[in-house]
């Protein structure tokens, strides 16, 4: 619906409040309720949203490591926030309360460089200038626990009770056992404008996987961000805690957040990754795109693996890649090429974990692929056939600190995303590493307490 129809609908709504939200650098949805009158006024003039959401970490601890965009040195002023009317939804589990996403601006005419959604829109504009329409989707794996926030706190987040027992992927029985929850996930997400392509149990106790239907890339990122929060909120109503940590335990595989991607023409009529006359149906555009992603991957890895925990997933034999590899329908590779269908030809980025900020991960996918097209990079990396873990070269950085330092000093990263974003983002990742490094872990206590 157009702007006037939407405003009319809001005015006539039974709801006196509107929920609005932004996504912070960690991919966490931050928001508030606004009175309907205030919201309608904000559509014309924008409104202020406290800049602290880019000045603290996911635990609301203020950064003290020379973050420039905001902080005590700025007085945590307001940033200009702009409602994106195209994101309108109603929340079915909250009596259809109206909901919108907002973007940040540094000034009325300038996007905020560190705003994840604004960064993605910037990369999309580059793609459109090159006559491409990026079509993306994301799939998530996550753990479900029969817990509440209170019970988890009482247990210090130790030994949570899994929703189901055993290693039972694609289980009809386990889904039937919790049919009310799974029915709500599928149906309520659809009503919320986050339609699923598929939903099933994954191997591991209480593990579920969902694939979101593909769309234009900005809508795909919106859906992915809203999916994670919506799943958690729906789970609450069933006495369940949903966790999107990349690696819950060393004894089980990690949780992926794989991104499927393709480029179409501006009319969305032709998939430009497919060429029936080319070898393996891979068009020249697809090969350039793939080569760009392979080259840039180690330079921008924190955008795909943003937490300390992310790197516990990227290990041999755990259904996650460890190196710069690609292969046809090969799930041991970083980039899985699926090029057999005219409409379905795509690249699956398998480095991405479930703990990512979808806007940043998709921006990184698209920008690195476009880098390959712009520079007409040759796909020199040979296809991996068989076990990708056997490839012992081009190993990716193995922890957040090393990955962040590589990105911080990367000329390519700064070319793709700009100096201001790279500086801010890598400093937030350094902060995360230093916060972790200052803690004494359970592993250390068990290993050293008595014996050392």
Query: How many beta carbons lie within 10 A of that of residue 241, not counting itself?
Result: 21
User: What value does the mean pLDDT of the chain take?
Assistant: 95
Q: Is the pLDDT assigned to residue 107 strictly greater than 70?
A: no
What's the confidence (pLDDT) of residue 46?
86
What's the confidence (pLDDT) of residue 45?
82
What's the confidence (pLDDT) of residue 197?
97
What's the confidence (pLDDT) of residue 109?
65
pLDDT-derived band at 108 (thresholds 50, 70, 90) equals: low
Q: What value does the CA radius of gyration of the chain take, rounded to a whole number of Å?
A: 22
Between CA 27 and CA 25 the distance in angstroms is 6
Which CATH code of 3.55.50.30, 3.30.70.260, 3.10.20.70, 3.50.50.60 fits the domain covering 3-111? 3.10.20.70
141-196 pLDDT tens trace: 999 999 999 999 999 999 999 999 888 889 999 899 999 999 999 999 999 999 99
The gap between the terminal CA atoms of the chain, to the nearest Å, is 67
Lowest-pLDDT choice from 110-114, 194-198, 322-326, 331-335: 110-114
Same topology for domains 3-111 and 128-447, yes or no?
no
pTM equals 0.96
What's the confidence (pLDDT) of residue 128?
98
CATH 3.30.590.10 fits 128-447, yes or no: yes
- Does residue 167 or residue 283 have the better pLDDT? 283
236-273 pLDDT tens trace: 999 999 999 999 999 999 999 999 999 999 999 999 99
What's the confidence (pLDDT) of residue 105?
79
What's the confidence (pLDDT) of residue 264?
98
Instruction: Compute the C-alpha angle 244/345/319, nearest 5°.
Output: 35
Lowest-pLDDT choice from 96-100, 315-319, 346-350, 366-370: 315-319
What's the confidence (pLDDT) of residue 131?
98
Q: What percent of the chain has pLDDT over 70?
A: 99
Between CA 240 and CA 340 the distance in angstroms is 40
What's the confidence (pLDDT) of residue 392?
83
Q: Enumerate the domain spans of the chain.
A: 3-111, 128-447
Q: Is the pLDDT assigned to residue 317 strictly greater than 90?
A: no
pLDDT-derived band at 311 (thresholds 50, 70, 90) equals: very high
- Section 59-63 average pLDDT: 96
């Amino acid at each position: 619906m157009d702007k006037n129809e939407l405003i009319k609908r809001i005015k006539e709504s039974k709801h006196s409040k509107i929920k609005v939200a932004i996504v912070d650098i960690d991919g966490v949805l931050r928001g508030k309720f606004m009175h309907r009158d205030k919201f309608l006024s904000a559509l014309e003039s924008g409104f202020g949203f406290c800049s602290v959401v880019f000045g603290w970490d996911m635990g609301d601890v203020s950064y003290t490591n020379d973050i420039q965009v905001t902080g005590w040195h700025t007085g945590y002023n307001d940033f200009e926030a702009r409602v994106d009317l195209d994101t309108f939804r109603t929340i079915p589990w909250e009596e259809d309360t109206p909901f919108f996403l907002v973007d940040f601006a540094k000034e009325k005419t300038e996007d905020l460089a560190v705003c994840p959604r604004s960064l993605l829109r910037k990369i999309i504009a580059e793609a459109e200038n090159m006559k491409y329409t990026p079509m993306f989707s994301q799939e998530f794996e996550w753990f479900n626990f029969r817990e509440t926030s209170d019970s988890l706190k009482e247990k210090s987040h130790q030994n949570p009770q899994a929703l189901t027992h055993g290693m039972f992927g694609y289980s009809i029985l386990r889904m039937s056992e919790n049919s009310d929850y799974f029915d709500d996930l599928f149906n309520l997400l659809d009503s919320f404008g986050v339609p699923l392509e598929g939903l099933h149990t994954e191997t591991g106790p209480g593990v579920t996987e969902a694939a979101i239907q593909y769309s234009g890339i900005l809508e795909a990122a919106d859906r992915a961000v809203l999916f994670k929060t919506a799943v958690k909120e729906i789970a609450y109503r069933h006495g369940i805690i949903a966790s999107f940590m990349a690696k819950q335990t060393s004894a089980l595989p990690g949780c992926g957040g794989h991104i499927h991607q393709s480029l179409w023409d501006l009319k969305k009529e032709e998939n430009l990754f497919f060429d029936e006359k080319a070898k393996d149906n891979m068009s020249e555009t697809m090969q350039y795109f793939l080569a760009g992603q392979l080259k840039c991957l180690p330079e921008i890895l924190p955008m795909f693996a943003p937490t300390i925990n992310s790197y516990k997933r990227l290990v041999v034999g755990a259904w996650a890649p460890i190196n710069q590899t690609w292969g046809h329908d090969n799930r041991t590779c970083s980039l899985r090429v699926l090029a057999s269908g005219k409409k379905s030809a795509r690249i699956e980025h398998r480095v991405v974990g479930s703990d990512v900020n979808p806007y940043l991960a998709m921006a990184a996918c698209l920008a690195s692929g476009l880098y390959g097209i712009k520079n007409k990079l040759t796909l020199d990396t040979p296809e991996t056939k068989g076990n990708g873990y056997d490839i012992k070269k081009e190993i990716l950085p193995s922890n957040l600190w090393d990955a962040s330092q590589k990105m911080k000093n990367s000329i390519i990263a700064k070319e793709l995303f700009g100096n201001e974003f790279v500086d801010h983002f890598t400093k937030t990742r350094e902060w995360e590493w230093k916060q972790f490094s200052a803690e004494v872990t359970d592993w250390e206590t068990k290993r050293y307490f008595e014996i050392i």
